[in-house]
Structure 1
Amino acid sequence: MQATDPVTLDNCADEPIHIPGSIQPHGALLAFDLAGALLAWSDNAPQLLGLAPALHMPLDALPLPPEVHEVAAECRDSIEDGEAPASALEVAIGGLQFDCIVHAYQSRLIIEFELRETPSDAVAAFALKAHAAIDRLKRQKSIDALLQLATEQVRAITGFDRVMGYRFHQDDSGDVTAESRRDDLEPYLGRRYPASDIPAQARRLYIINTLRLIADVGYTPAPLRGRAGDAPLDLSHSVLRSVSPIHIEYLQNMGVGASMSVSIVVNGRLWGLLACHHMAPLQVPYSIRMAADVMAQVIASLVQSIEARERSKLVEQSAEVRTRVMETLLHHDEPARALLQHAPSLCESLQVEALVVTQYGKIMVHGDIDAALAARMVASLPEGEGGNDLVERIAVTDWPQEIQAALAPWAGLLALRFDPATSGWLLGLRREQIHTIRWAGRPEKVVVAGPLGPRLTPRGSFDEWREMVRGRAVPWDATEKLAATQLLGEMHRASVAKHIETDRARAQLLAMLGHDLRGPLHSINMAATVLQHGGAASTMSSRIQASSTRMERLISQVLDMSRINGGLSLGLTRSEVDLVVLLQDLLDEARLSHADLRIETSLPPTLLAQVDGDRMVQVVSNLVSNARHHGTHGEPIHVLLSDQGDKVLLEVRNVAPEIPAELVPMLYSPLKHASVGNVRNRGGLGLGLHIAQEIVQQHGGEIAYRYESPQVVFAVTLPRT
């Protein structure tokens, strides 16, 4: 008993529809190599063309009309990289009229003869209608109006009973947004078709060959004879290419007798389709089909222009909002509160229904959102300056599991971290979209015995089925995300400017403290020393001296803080720390902040050392962050900790190219030239390793780089005590 493959959508998606081995029988096909030797022909070629084909027969020896030989020669002369575009002409053979189409693909010259019953003068009249239709299309101002007019005009010049205008979504499902039909036919306007109705390989053909006709859905394929070479004959650009039996079932289930599809391709993507159906067989002449194809190209160009105009308008509005926000942030002492002043315009720019602003742990909201829920949303965001500054969530399932049950009615999040140093976030929220989609039949396909055995076949009927979509928000489109990214950039610049201003003021204050207090403190110390020799006054003098010492210590701490901010020496507070627990907590946070981050560890059960725990977290965070930014994407980061007797060895390894030898001596230097402007260096000035080295050295240890192909290794050695 022969085993059958599992029934999945791959049965449809893997079907080799570009090499069917047959053509539709309303025409004949001849295929040659580039030298003109006959390689393959359709089974009906002798009958339709009056030929007696034989393998390797020269093209010049075939009794074809002279003009066919001329066009074939021109096509062969224009071949580049095995391909040449199609050329067409009208020919008569044995009392039959044909549209002859010649093209080259994959180093095969393909000549097709498509039967035509429509007189030439009728074809010319339809072509004139198409020219007038194109002029009307160019005057449309909206995409909906453009598609509706297109369906009406294509139906007028082709004679189909129904023409539908599809518009595809990001998930490749498609809505019928325009329709022109015979009055007695059921309307399909407004229905959605699942992405699986057009498998990936069919989408590819829709893009590279933008028009396809099935003149008679009930046709019997004409098989190809001969031998096309080592590989089957690729009919991707053929006008007579036979189509998938599954698609034939699909059309028959709709009661369709003939079908034509015209692709609308925008920026290399299948943006939409003009889908034409006739309830009986219908042969549309090649010239008329090409007129419809030209109309689709005009539509694609107009769609691109309309969308660009709409994007430009949104970008302009967003720019005005950014300018106002920037001015407010620069002149306001509380940036978070300043952002709320622009909440309505920010909601419009980001296309959100509520805002949450947080900074320094303070949370403020705009819109119908509970403050407690807003706080939980903020807590769910990544921590630390190494995380993403723009976080997008579309569905409830994108949020951490512990908050999902409390989210209703919210589902979508676009969060902008405008100031990492102060945990400043701007959160835009979208509600859950509970809406009904009018699916054209159930999106699932049922398993039945189709023409190729047990497999997924098209739906048996197109009864309308309503699917409630829950737990998802409307996704942000590219224009909206661009507006968010630009707003984030402006807010970052405002935050940096504010920090520079604050640091300058702090430095001036510290200078004043150092200058103005040092003298009085020195005098107090001198007086205390004199009084200390006075017997009865010794108690008071001791208090004065203790107070002045305490004041000096406070000033030193303030100055130390300033030196730390300037990347100078760092004070350490040592205590006994279990480095295993410290690393596990840190790496768990890193995994939560970066879902795609793979970290593998080799840690002992426990390892105690006398260190400053907070500073060691800073060292490891920097090394892991560097490994994530500079390592090969998808490869794990390895963190190893081992006991070396009176020392501790910590290694962070990642797969990456070797650091150039000329850069190694400057690896721990601040403000490295190689780091400035480096797109892979998020810090921008290379201070991370410099500070890490300072911390390690002040612990009495050392940090070293080496390369063990294919891994970059940073090793930290610390004394246990």
Structure 2
Amino acid sequence: MTTEPLPCHPSHQPCDEIQIHLIGQIQSGKALVAVDLAAGTFTHGSKGTEAITGSQMEHHPASWVPLSHLSALQRRCGTWRGRGPMPAVIEPLSGPPIQAWVYLSGSSLVFEWDCQDPLPTVAEDWDLEVKECLEEIETLPTLDEKLERVVTRIRDLTGFDRVMIYRFHEDESGEVVSEARRGDWEPFVGLRYPATDIPRPARELFLRNDLRLIGDIAAKPVPVHGAEPLDLSLSRFRQPAEVHIEYLGNMEVAASLVTAIRVDHKLWGLISCHHGTARPLTSRDQSRVSALTGHLAVDLAGAAREQRLKDELACARLANKLVQCVTLTTDWAPVMMSISSDILRTMRSDALVLHLDGTTYISHGDIPPAEVESFIQANGPQLRNRIHATHHLTGSLKDAAGLAPYAGGLWISLSAFRDDCLLLLRKEQRKNVRWAGNPTETTVLKSDGRIGPRNSFAEWAEEVTQKSTPWTPCETEMAEVVRSTLIDIVITSQGFRELVETPAARRFRIAHEETVQPLVFADPDGRIVYRNRSALDDGLSHLTTLDELSVWKTDMERFPERLAEIQHSSTPLRFTTEGRHFELARLVEDEELHGYSLRVIADS
């Protein structure tokens, strides 16, 4: 078994490709050992731990800590629900107790500790101190006040020169939204940083490991020896990638502490702390920072849930109003437009367009109808049967320039066969974004081939135009409710009335209502609007649209293409699947398509 440190030259790779969890090093002044209890061996050890592991890791773990204690720690780690490593006090057979961080990595139980970290004394009731701080934050009425108090408290607790709360935007860039700093340090509040400043691997690790501490960027790292790379995803003291060390140096930062704010299993933002000189932090203070960050995340999650409940209630009321207004009439488009103000208010939109059966209705928007119709014709075919949200219409859809001053759109398709849709529009929101450096110059290619981070953070202004307020995930979910209401209740009920009362359908329905062979009717858009009694007890009872037939395995070649061609063919489509023979035919009256019939004509 080799005990050489794992080689790592991350600065020759793009940041998104660096496997930072396999870096093979921990920070200066820290120690790491890993044990495989099933094998009874040490699997890894940092330089300087040879007295524990043996020079060739030949010692048995029980010679360091009693086996019963190691087994208990492994069980506790298996049920640990915190993000990151588990704090624990280790009591070696010889030497003083160790304040350690413990976690599982593959089959190994890993121990890390700061060689200078003192054990907390009984007199240090830091739990009470943190509780008082949390209660203080809880009483504050607004989010801005809570954020301001959190950064102030963390700066008081840690002594860092700057503490920032960094919130992610929809494009994964981040903005400093609150800050507590040393008086002679330049303010960062309001500055935006590009998404590349926090690469994808780092974001993924923050979802698993809530805190990253770099006590001294200039200190020499300690290699970790082992036969195989050790996954340090949950490590508290993993050595940062070389490119990140250089990035901090370019900012004139000597020590860094970052904790992740996770809301609903996603990164809401980070609390980032900077110091001008080396800054160690005890495990006690690390836990205090984690507690404050976790409490803020709970507050944010609670506020998000409260807003979501309000939105869901408003959406339910809107859906109920839609049903009440339009189900009792066959000409429901004008009725729907009469409640457009309710739709716009619930969906936080500025204008509404309804395109139905070739007719376009516009509410609260001063847009030329010809421009709207051109936009719908250009985009309708690829947006059928789906919802599409964009805050940059001209950048994502065709022929959108004519919709000015509207820059954002939420397309709610109402048909799988036609361009029928409900389109919600938002006005352009012009704004000036203050970037910390040019966001397009995120890396530097050096003469030796290394990829380095940007070295300029001078404020760089950008005027953002032709964009609206982005649509939130909750708003797109509400759009799905509106779509389902219109399709499943309104349009389908209207289609049922229109379809089953046509002479052709009436004759067909009467002839087959009592037959043992299942029969369903679909409207011209392919939505199932009627089933006879046999179909209700048959597998066809789960069919909702004719589109679903395209995934059936039949005896017909090019079946999906033939299925699509039925719209223009007077010849019924006959096919067999799973031993059953089907016939799909158009229902036509006076040369007008009223729908489709699908029936089982024979069972094998």
What TM-score comes out, normalization by structure 1 length? Answer: 0.65
The structure richer in helix per residue is: 1
Query: Structure 1 residue 489 and structure 2 residue 488: aligned?
Result: no
How much is the aligned-residue C-alpha RMSD, in angstroms?
4.3
| C-alpha distance in 2 between matches for 1:82 and 1:155 | 28
> Which of 8, 24, 30 is 2:27 aligned to?
24
SS of 1:454's partner is coil
Deviation per CA, 1:217-263, whole angstroms, max 9, x where unpaired? Answer: 111111123x2x3x212222222211111111111111111111111
Please tell me whether the aligned partners of residues 129 and 157 of structure 1 are also in contact (alpha carbons under 8 angstroms).
no
- Structure 2 vs 1, CA of residues 81 and 135 (structure 1 numbering), >3 Å: closer, same or farther? closer
Which residue of 50, 56, 59 maps to 2:58?
56
The answer (yes or no) to whether the contact 2:191–2:435 under 8 Å persists in 1 is yes
Structure 2 counterpart of 1:233: 230
Residue number in structure 2 paired with 1:116: 116
* Cα offset, 1:361, TM superposition: 3.1
Matched residues in 1 for 2:596 and 2:12: separation?
A: 52
Match of 1:667? 582
Counting only pairs closer than 5 Å after superposition, residues 309-324 of structure 1 correspond to structure 2 as 309-324=306-321
For the 8 Å contact 2:100–2:111, the answer to whether it is kept is yes
Q: 1:123 to 1:351 in 2, by over 3 A?
A: farther
Instruction: Write the distance in 2 (CA, Å) between the matches of 1:628 and 1:169.
Output: 39
CA contact (8 A) 1:39 1:56 kept: no
Q: Which amino acid in 2 is paired with 1:441?
A: G
Contact 2:255 2:276 in 1 (8 A): yes
Match of 2:436 among 437, 440, 443: 440
Deviation at 1:126, TM superposition (A): 4.8
Helix, strand or coil: the match of 2:354? strand
Look up the SS of the partner of 2:150 in the other structure: helix
Find the counterpart in structure 2 of residue 430 from structure 1.
426
Shift of 1:353: 1.1
- Mapping of residues 339-354 of structure 1, within 5 Å: 339-354=336-351
Q: Deviations over 1:427-473 (max 9, x none)?
A: 211233432222222223232329xx524322102111123334443
Aligned-partner Cα distance in 1 for 2:71–2:62: 10
Secondary structure of the structure 1 residue equivalent to 2:268: strand
Name the residue aligned to 1:462.
457
Distance 2:380 2:31 in 1: 63
Q: Classify the secondary structure of the residue corresponding to 2:139.
A: coil
Report the residue type matching 1:74 in the other structure.
A
Q: Is residue 474 from structure 1 mapped to residue 474 from structure 2 by the alignment? A: no
Q: Does the alignment pair 1:104 with 2:104?
A: yes
Structure 1 residues 353 and 123, CA gap change in structure 2 (3 angstroms)? farther
Question: Residue type of the partner of 1:345?
Answer: D
Look up the SS of the partner of 1:462 in the other structure.
coil
CA 1:57–1:9: 2 relative to 1, 3 Å: closer
Contact 1:262 1:274 in 2 (8 A): yes
Match of residue 281 from structure 1:
278
**Contact persistence 1:166–1:177 (CA under 8 A):** yes
**TM-aligned CA distance change 1:629 to 1:476, over 3 Å:** farther
> Secondary structure at 1:380's aligned position in 2?
helix
Of 259, 264, 279, the residue aligned with 1:267 is 264
Change (3 A) 1:88 1:475: same
In structure 2, what residue type is equivalent to 1:37? Answer: T
| Distance change in 2, residues 1:287/1:26 (3 Å) | same
Matches of 1:28 and 1:689 in 2, distance apart? 71
The answer on whether the counterparts of 1:639 and 1:650 sit within 8 Å (CA) in structure 2 is no
- Verify the 8 A CA contact 2:367 2:403 in the aligned structure 1: no
Deviation at 1:638, TM superposition (A): 8.1
Q: 1:42 aligns with which of 42, 46, 51?
A: 46
Between the aligned residues of both structures, percent identity stands at: 26
The one-letter amino acid of 2:111's match is I
CA offset digits 1:186-219 (Å, max 9, x no partner)? 1111222221112221112111111111011111
1:150 deviates by 1.9
Could you tell which deviates more after superposition, 335-344 or 201-210? 335-344
Residues 1:38 and 1:494: Cα distance change in structure 2 (over 3 Å) = closer
**Aligned twin of 1:378:** 376
The answer to whether the aligner puts 1:134 opposite 2:137 as a matched pair is no
Q: SS of the residue aligned with 1:219?
A: coil
Q: Which residue of 1 aligns with 2:592?
A: none
Change (3 A) 1:196 1:669: same
Distance 1:288 1:564 in 2: 78
- Deviation per CA, 1:250-295: give whole Å up to 9, x if none: 1111111111111122232222211111111111100210121122
Give the CA deviation at 1:477.
Answer: 1.1
Conserved in 1, the CA contact under 8 Å of 2:327 and 2:493?
yes
Question: Which residue type is aligned with residue 668 of structure 1?
Answer: E
Q: 1:40 to 1:146 in 2, by over 3 A?
A: same
Query: 1:292-303 maps to which residues of 2 (within 5 A)?
Result: 292-303=289-300
Using CA pairs under 8 Å that are at least 6 residues apart, name the structure with larger relative contact order, 1 or 2: 2
The 3-state SS of whatever aligns with 1:264 is strand
Q: Partner of 1:192 in structure 2? A: 192
CA spacing shift, 1:90–1:365, aligned 2, 3 Å: same
**Which of 323, 326, 329 is 2:326 aligned to?**
329
| Alpha-carbon contact 1:99-1:115 (below 8 Å) kept | no
Is residue 409 of structure 2 the alignment partner of residue 413 of structure 1? Answer: yes
SS at match of 2:355: strand
**Residue type matched to 1:213 in 2?**
L
Q: Per-residue deviation at 1:496? A: 3.0
SS at match of 2:59: coil
Structure 1 pair 122/495, CA: closer, same or farther in 2 (3 Å)? same
Q: How does 1:606-617 map to 2 (within 5 A)?
A: none
Question: Aligned pairs, how many?
Answer: 540
1:500-527 CA-to-partner distances (Å, cap 9, x unmatched) read: 45567xx4xxxxxxxxxxxxxxxxxxxx
Letter in 2 for 1:667: F
Q: Spell out the pairing of 1:241-252 with structure 2 (5 A cutoff).
A: 241-252=238-249
Q: Distance in 2 between matches of 1:324 and 1:36?
A: 68
* Alpha-carbon shift at residue 412 of structure 1 (Å): 2.2
Offset at residue 324 of structure 1 (A) = 2.6
Counterpart residue identity of residue 41, structure 1: G
Change (3 A) 1:202 1:503: closer
Give the conservation status (yes or no) of the 8 Å contact 2:165–2:270. yes
Letter in 2 for 1:13: D
Q: TM-score, normalised by structure 2?
A: 0.77
Q: Which runs of 5+ in 1 are unaligned?
A: 1-6, 508-557, 569-589, 591-622, 641-648, 671-685, 694-703, 706-721
Query: Do the aligned residues in 2 keep the contact of 1:382 with 1:388 (CA within 8 Å)?
Result: no
Residues in 1 aligned to 2:444 and 2:454: alpha-carbon distance in whole angstroms: 10
Alignment CA distance shift 1:15-1:81 (3 Å): farther
Letter in 2 for 1:252: G
Contact 1:11 1:455 in 2 (8 A): no
Greater C-alpha Rg: 1
Structure 2 letter corresponding to 1:469: V
